[in-house]
Amino acid sequence: MFSLFNKAKKRIKEKLGILRVNKIKNEALSAVPFWIGSIITGLIAVLYAKLFYWVEEGTIYIIQHAAYLLLFITPMCFLFSWLIVKWFSPYSKGSGIPQVIASIELTNPKHNYKVNSLLSLRIIFIKIVSSLIMVFGGGMIGREGPTIQIGASVFKKISDILPSWYPKVSRRNMIVTGAAAGLAAAFNTPLGGIVFAIEELTKTHFSFFKSALLTGVIISGLTALTILGPYLYLGYPQLENIPTWIIILVFLTAIIAGLMGSLSGRLILLLLGKVKKLNKIPRVIYVILSGVIIASFAIFIDAGSIGSGKEIMLSTLFTSDKHVEWYIPILRISGSIISFCSGASGGIFAPSLCSGATIGSLIASLFHLPGNESNLLILCGMAAFLTGITRSPFTSSILVIEMTNSHFIIFHLMLAALLANIIASAVSRHSIYDYLKDNYIKEIHSDEKQVETSGHVVT
């Protein structure tokens, strides 16, 4: 009897050992797609960042040597950038973040196939080409939103090609991780990527995807760091000896920047609605006029006012020229709205940060603040404006902290972001991403109905 008990015990241990080995094997296999996707996303993000930089340098060269050529180059760049999107990949327009949020919402057995319209290899190519043409013409766009859609597309494609025998990997988790990895690689902000995924992309409990998310963000970030070396997106601004009373101006900056960010989002939605109703010829004229307006900003008002805005942020934070002219925030905000509504590819993260920086700089100039105090208001303006337009206060403050290694002013930045979020909520209940996401989902459902009505079979 005792020997039978020992044999049974031994058999149970063997079975449990096999189960444990299989579990470890499945977990390891499940992690491989995330590792591969993260490396690819990091490589594409680095290449995209390099191309974006070189193209912006080309624009600066034109401004310095033949600025009036922009009256031709900018409208043509706007037109070609929009046409490429319109002809080859309509859902690659704009930032890319609303498309990713829509993809996450549509990732279910009933609508899985519709995600192909929002995330694909074609979108990666068109996204990069369209935005590069746009920024060469001086468009006030960023590469960070597009990199998020690119990362999500990479992970989605890897999910599609996994063989049937492979351990099941959640497509939704893949898309979320790809988007977070894209942001982390674009800004070199791993914590920002994680917080962005939690705050903006999904309402799923963090425990359901934390391992995949952390792995994706770390590997994509390390891939970018391996090629580019250790760097900060902006650098190390001077922030020593900040007085306590400055909190009053932090409040003022947060209120103004948050309000302007929220109003910018509303104006973008309003303008997009008007533009959508234009027929073919009026739409072409609108896009060309948009380019003419942006070119006029550079030629007749301020040559440094166009582009992604990173140069303005670097100038205000790291040179003695801390204070911008009163019209620069107006140019940056209006130019970003015009560029975004052209229908081409391009994000609003960097332009929003720049708009907030100019607001903070202008307020600092009104009160004749020294360099370190001006830097604080500039950074608070960045976090507040980005919060106003995205409605993601924690992501905004963490991004600014990681871009400048300014952890010791975390309370100032979070206060500015949270106050901006309250102000923005009074203007509109939802962020621009929520509205655009709903529009994309409606468009996809509408396209499907049109195909069905025409007699084709949707598969």
Q: Which domains does the chain have, with CATH numbers?
A: 34-228 (1.10.3080.10), 244-442 (1.10.3080.10)
What pLDDT score does 166 carry? 81
Tell me the pTM.
Answer: 0.88
Q: Which residues of the chain have pLDDT under 50?
A: 9, 15-16, 19, 205, 457-459
Residue 388 in contact with residue 254, Cβ under 8 Å? no
- Could you count the other beta carbons within 10 Å of the beta carbon of residue 20? 10
φ, ψ (nearest 5 deg) of residue 94? 70, -155
Helix (H) or strand (E) holding 367: none
The secondary structure of 400-437 as a DSSP string is HHHHHT-GGGHHHHHHHHHHHHHHHHHH-SS-HHHHHH
Residue 423 in contact with residue 262, Cβ under 8 Å? yes
Sign for the CA dihedral angle at 441, 446, 451, 455 comes to: positive
What SS3 class is residue 94? Answer: strand
According to DSSP, the residues that pair with 94 across neighbouring strands are 345
What SS3 class is residue 322? Answer: coil
113, amino acid identity: Y
What is the total residue count of the chain? 459
DSSP-assigned letter for residue 208: G
DSSP-assigned letter for residue 141: -
**Of 157, 161, 134, 160, the residue nearest 145 (C-alpha):** 134
Whole-angstrom CA distances from 91 to 48, 84, 97, 180, 270 are: 19, 11, 11, 20, 19
What pLDDT score does 60 carry? 92
Residue 356 in contact with residue 390, Cβ under 8 Å? no
Q: Which two tokens stand for residue 293?
A: 């307006």
**Of 374, 387, 395, the residue nearest 416 (C-alpha):** 387
What pLDDT score does 21 carry? 53
Q: Which two tokens stand for residue 64?
A: 């310095």
CA 329, chain centre distance (Å):
21
110, amino acid identity: K
Residue 232 in contact with residue 197, Cβ under 8 Å? no
**CA distance linking residue 72 with residue 49, whole number of Å:** 26
What SS3 class is residue 198? Answer: helix
What pLDDT score does 227 carry? 74
**Of 205, 207, 154, the residue nearest 177 (C-alpha):** 154
- Interacting residues of 117 by C-beta distance below 8 A, sequence separation 6+: 91, 444, 447
Residue 345 in contact with residue 149, Cβ under 8 Å? no
φ, ψ (nearest 5 deg) of residue 367? -105, 10
204, amino acid identity: T
